[in-house]
Structure 1
Amino acid sequence: MTAAEPTPAPADLAATAPVAQPVVRAAELRDVPAVVALVESAYRGDSSRAGWTTEADLLEGQRTDEAAVTELLTRPDSVVLLVERDGAPIACCHVERRGGAAYFGMFSVSPAIQGGGLGRLLLARAEEWARTAWGATAMEMTVIEQRAELIAWYERRGFARTGEFEPFPYGDLRFGVPLRTDLRFAKLAKSLV
């Protein structure tokens, strides 16, 4: 090899493909099964324990189902944002217009990739959607009060507790089977102005 010839790349570096950037888009009806699977994997059962957002110690059963996600997709002033990488769903959230505010919920990141900044990206995109599509001046959400680490994550992103609470829907199996009798939702809000 002469000085003019390029040095060949090591085999391990040459075989490494760049990681595709995530794509955020509005989910469609064809995405319903993938959204349900993603949400279930992030919140319920043993697969959810691979991430830090699991509710498996608080609730059993389903987190959502195809009928509920279909309803969110067909409701006016409602969108499910879906994040894909190489065509595979890796995160999602629901954003809904409620007067001058927007509600944020069903926030799910695949447990295998939690902690890498994807959640921050999706939350920012949801806030941007609410501001630009609906002129929302605030984002609101409810979080199970016992999820202190999750509430702290939202607080680091500008949300604050409002001091308001909502009861957990005990007896409604669409939301899961509670493993505790003291569950309730804390309301959080953030200005988008």
Structure 2
Amino acid sequence: MHIEFTQADDSHVESLVQLVNSAYRGDSSKVGWTTEADILGGQRVDKQGITDLIHKDGSIVLIAEDDDTGNLLGCVHLEHQDEKCYLGMLTVDPKLQKKSIGKMLLAESEALAQFWDCNTIFMTVISVRKELIAWYEKHGFRLTGEKKPFPYGDERFGIPKVENLEFVVLAKKI
């Protein structure tokens, strides 16, 4: 498999919605280790949300495609915010997790953040996602101590199955 990294455009929206939802929600997500199916139901993203990210100033959705087949393997959303870069929606096809695609997407994200002259990459992760937080810490991210509320009542981000969800902020100097 030869992987090509490119910027998503409108032609990728439906594939991105399918990929992200399959990696985080429902039974399909349980094939991989990044599932949120036990804590959240419903969708992770929708067409309008992905379209908005693609068209937002200072924002890109970077995709990883199999250069031979054209299949979408993974993606990540990056947003330039002054001297910082927000990283979100890091996704790898559940059937392909543990094949270093996530690590490659992180490396590409860091390169883009440096191109943007950012000195820090930061993200939010649901606090109960201990395994995911540990994975990011293994890759140089650190908990900042900052927390953000979960958007209860906004089903665009999922339907909570547990109470007391919140986000923690992780950051990495680059």
Instruction: Report the TM range for the smaller structure's normalisation.
Output: over 0.9
Give per-residue Cα distances to partners, 1:58-86, cap 9 Å, x unaligned.
00000000000000000000000010112
Q: Report the alpha carbon displacement of residue 98 of structure 1 after superposing the two structures with TM.
A: 1.1
What count of residue pairs does the alignment treat as equivalent? 172
Per-residue deviation, 1:167: 0.4
TM-score of the two chains, using structure 2 as the length reference? 0.98
Q: Which amino acid aligns with 1:121?
A: M
Question: What SS does structure 2 have at the residue aligned with 1:122?
Answer: helix
Within 2, Cα distance between the matches of 1:73 and 1:122? 17
Please report how far the alpha carbon of residue 182 of structure 1 lies from its aligned counterpart in structure 2 after TM superposition: 1.0
Gaps of 5+ in 2: none
What TM-score results when the alignment is normalised by the length of structure 1? 0.88
Aligned partners of 2:65 and 2:11: how far apart in 1?
14
The alignment status of 1:38 with 2:14, answered yes or no, reads: no
Q: Percent identity over the alignment?
A: 47
| SS, match of residue 56 in structure 1 | coil
Taking the aligned partners of 1:48 and 1:151, their CA distance within structure 2 comes to: 18
Moved over 3 A (4+): none
Question: 1:135 corresponds to which residue?
Answer: 117
Aligned AA for 1:184?
E
Letter in 1 for 2:39: L
Deviation of residue 99 (structure 1)?
1.5
Q: Which residue of 1 aligns with 2:95?
A: 112
Unaligned segments of structure 1, at least 5 residues = 1-19
Q: Superposition RMSD on alpha carbons, in Å?
A: 0.5
